[in-house]
A and B are shown apart, each in its own frame.
Chain A
């Protein structure tokens, strides 16, 4: 084992596009880092900004929110709201002094297994570069590390 920092990353994937993309990447045996834990949601619009805030606050190093491309949402406009909300949230994180790069919103359709792999790889690299998120250690709390 090396001592290299292995980040804990959370990915919210929508049932109809990005989760299917993850599936496709798996079936296609595409190679990608294993730092990501996927949470399936029915739509990226289900991901409340509070989910992301809470995850970062509890010590998750990075959060990915993946949905269908704009215009391809299974519920027509679910991802419109996601896009707007996360633009605001990302600015808010910046004001608080939390690097907005710890949050990434992106789109991957059901046929884009390669795109999914690319996003995961890129994001894992970004987070490795940023280093561990120590928000959970504030005020004497202990991080709930996932091993």
Chain B
């Protein structure tokens, strides 16, 4: 699969369709994101592990505003780019997305609902799965849920890993770092305010990339909570983050005319 991807990237570079391609490079036993500018380098390109390349793109595009950049994207990366574009962070017109479908092992690991991009260039489409934890919590009563989350969040060491790993946490100043909202020196942080605020903030942008949960050293099932809100956003507003670049996030828009009559 990697060889096929390298072939594709070489081809794009050779034809001059892109100036460079952002993907992952294997070197000295490590894998790191890398901007491939010449065909010779491409032999070290790899497709896994999953890495949120979108985290770097706003920086690259502000450095090279005129460059036509290719980028290898998984389903979640593509959705991230859509959400970033809505918020003016990346210019989709200057990007060439190379779609990579996740393997069934990836899907199993991430419990991903939509493990493929809209246009698949490499790999076979594997259907997504639903996170079984979500159903479990749905069946719990109120008190049981509160106990579950109180336990989960008691593990939090307030490392801000979830926030830093999130490719869509793009605010320049974060409310969770303001001491009026989050008292300094408290570990675990205030329950439930800290995590509720973060969960609310992800409501209209979470694309289910699982980076927060992977970054969490305490293994808090954050994406279970975020997944439940994502489902609500779909039920309430028919909105799925990362689906359509023209669809504005519902929390910043006004009600539809039909709903104007009365709440």
* Nearest A residue (CB) for B235: A91
- Whether A138 and B262, one on each chain, are in contact in the complex, defined by CB atoms closer than 8 angstroms, is no
In the complex, which residues of chain B have a beta carbon less than 8 angstroms from the beta carbon of A88? Answer: 200, 203, 229, 232-233, 236, 251
> A99 to B261, alpha carbons, bound, how many Å?
28
Is the interface on chain A under 10, 10 to 19, 20 to 34, or 35 or more residues?
20 to 34
The yes or no answer to B160 lying at the interface (CB within 8 A) is no
The yes or no answer to B1 lying at the interface (CB within 8 A) is no
Which DSSP category, helix, strand, loop or mixed, fits chain B's interface? helix
In the complex, which residues of chain A have a beta carbon less than 8 angstroms from the beta carbon of B233? Answer: 88
* Nearest B residue (CB) for A91: B232
The yes or no answer to A85 lying at the interface (CB within 8 A) is yes
In the complex, which residues of chain A have a beta carbon less than 8 angstroms from the beta carbon of B188? Answer: 139
- Whether B154 and A139, one on each chain, are in contact in the complex, defined by CB atoms closer than 8 angstroms, is yes
The yes or no answer to B175 lying at the interface (CB within 8 A) is yes
- Whether B181 and A97, one on each chain, are in contact in the complex, defined by CB atoms closer than 8 angstroms, is no
Interface positions of A from 124 to 147, Cβ below 8 Å from B? 135, 138-139, 141
Q: Mark interface residues in B100-137 (1 if CB within 8 Å of A CB, else 0).
A: 00000000000000000000000000000000000001
In the complex, which residues of chain A have a beta carbon less than 8 angstroms from the beta carbon of B254? Answer: 77, 80-81
Q: In the complex, what's the smallest C-beta–C-beta distance from B238 to chain A, in angstroms?
A: 13
- Whether B191 and A53, one on each chain, are in contact in the complex, defined by CB atoms closer than 8 angstroms, is no
Q: In the complex, what's the smallest C-beta–C-beta distance from B192 to chain A, in angstroms?
A: 6
> A84 to B140, alpha carbons, bound, how many Å?
26
Instruction: From A49, A93, A139, name the one whose CB has the most chain B CB atoms within 10 angstroms.
Output: A139
The yes or no answer to B159 lying at the interface (CB within 8 A) is no
* Nearest B residue (CB) for A99: B142
Known: A53-B193, A70-B263, A97-B144. A84 touches B250 (CB 8 A): yes
Sorted nearest first, the 9 A-B pairs with minimum C-beta distance are A97-B146, A97-B145, A57-B193, A80-B254, A77-B254, A80-B255, A138-B191, A91-B232, A53-B196
Q: Which residues of A contact B (CB under 8 A)?
A: 49-50, 53-54, 56-58, 69-71, 77, 80-81, 83-85, 87-89, 91-99, 107, 135, 138-139, 141
